[in-house]
Amino acid sequence: MAHGHDVLHMMEGNSYSTKESLVKAIVDKFGTEERFHTCSAEGMTAEELVDFLEERGKFMPSNSDEFTVDASKICNH
């Protein structure tokens, strides 16, 4: 099970035009069967993880309304 931080670090320096393109990038990197966990949740699919991270303000809008990570909101533990 991969940690949500792994996805946030994957996103550093990249942006994704839609939520679907971000989910696809996660699946491409980690595989369709991978499940994700964070400090407070576990067993999430890629799509569930993106929703979870979005709800917690881990993304920031970029100049073209794409998804990009807010590096200041990645906890380092």
Q: Tell me: the pLDDT tens digits for 23-51?
A: 999 999 999 999 999 989 999 999 999 99
Helix or strand or coil: residue 52?
helix
Residue 16 in this model has a pLDDT that exceeds 80: yes
Residue 77 in this model has a pLDDT that exceeds 70: no
Q: Would you state the pLDDT for residue 38? A: 92
Residue 71 in this model has a pLDDT that exceeds 80: no
Rounded-to-integer distance, Cα 45 and Cα 16, Å: 18
